[in-house]
């Protein structure tokens, strides 16, 4: 991916919208570290420990921005990740980018041609699915949202795909998507390069559905 500027400091990514926690840190030039842990219900117990360990040898003051997965996905995991990222961004007084989990998955896949889109499908509760459609710009410096993240019945999603007037590749997402944390970071970095500096208070989770108790 061609980049027009270099980040003097680091971006930190937190992806906790699935049982697989993903954390990444990068300066987008010569240093990137990403790691995943299958934590399940132990997320809240280990998240802060793993954050503190992975960031080393950098320190919190080296961060220029934070990116967090805003969902859709696990209700509890998404909430914990967003709250943690908001708290860090507030304390450090740095921008916080809330990135769709479906957008990060779409960004991780190459398209066969410039006119092709990526349709992302992920299981939701109550027999429904999350769905969205994205397309990369020709120069890979932007991702365009063609169909926003939505929750719907499988038959409605199929009808939606059938009505698309452009070629697309369908990606069916598994339950563990923490490994897409670097792609989440890349999307945030693209926005950073465009001069966007979102305030931490703007980062809100997208659940799509009310949780089942």
Name, in order, each residue with C-beta under 8 angstroms of 162's C-beta and a sequence gap of 6 or more.
none
**Is 168 contained in some domain?**
yes
Nearest CA to 116 out of 41, 191, 44, 170 is that of: 170
Structure tokens at 167: 């070629």
The pLDDT of residue 4 is: 38
Q: What is the 3-state secondary structure of 37-68?
A: EECHHHHHHHHHHHHHHHHCCCCHHHEEEEEE
**Is 197 contained in some domain?**
yes
**Is 124 contained in some domain?**
yes
**Is 16 contained in some domain?**
yes
**Is 123 contained in some domain?**
yes
Residues 196 and 110 in one domain: no
Q: How do residues 139-193 score in pLDDT, each as one tens digit?
A: 667 889 999 999 999 999 999 999 999 999 999 997 788 999 999 999 999 999 9
The whole model's pTM is what? Answer: 0.90
Higher pLDDT, 34 or 211: 34
Report, in angstroms and rounded to the nearest whole number, the Rg of the chain calculated over CA atoms: 17
**Is 47 contained in some domain?**
yes
Residues 61 and 116 in one domain: no
- How far is it, in rounded angstroms, from Cα 96 to Cα 99? 10
Owning domain of residue 142: 102-172
% of the chain at pLDDT higher than 90: 71
For residue 131, is it left (φ>0), alpha (ψ between -120 and 50) or beta? beta
């Amino acid at each position: 991916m061609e980049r027009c500027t270099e980040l003097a400091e680091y971006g930190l990514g937190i992806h906790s919208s699935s049982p697989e926690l993903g954390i990444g840190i990068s300066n987008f030039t010569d240093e990137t570290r990403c790691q995943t842990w299958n934590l399940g219900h132990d997320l809240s117990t280990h998240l802060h420990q793993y954050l503190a360990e992975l960031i080393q040898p950098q320190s919190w003051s080296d961060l220029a921005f934070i990116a967090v997965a805003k969902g859709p996905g696990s209700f509890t995991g998404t909430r914990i990740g967003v709250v943690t990222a908001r708290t860090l961004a507030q304390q450090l007084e740095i921008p916080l980018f809330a990135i769709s989990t479906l957008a990060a998955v779409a960004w991780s896949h190459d398209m066969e041609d410039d006119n092709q889109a990526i349709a992302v499908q992920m299981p939701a509760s109550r027999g429904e699915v999350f769905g969205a459609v994205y397309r990369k710009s020709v120069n890979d410096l932007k991702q365009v949202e063609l169909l926003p993240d939505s929750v719907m019945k499988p038959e409605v999603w199929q009808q939606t795909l059938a009505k698309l007037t452009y070629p697309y590749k369908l990606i069916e997402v598994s339950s563990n998507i923490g490994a897409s944390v670097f792609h989440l970071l890349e999307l945030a970095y693209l926005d950073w390069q465009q001069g966007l500096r979102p305030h931490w208070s703007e980062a809100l989770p997208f659940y799509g559905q009310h949780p089942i108790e």
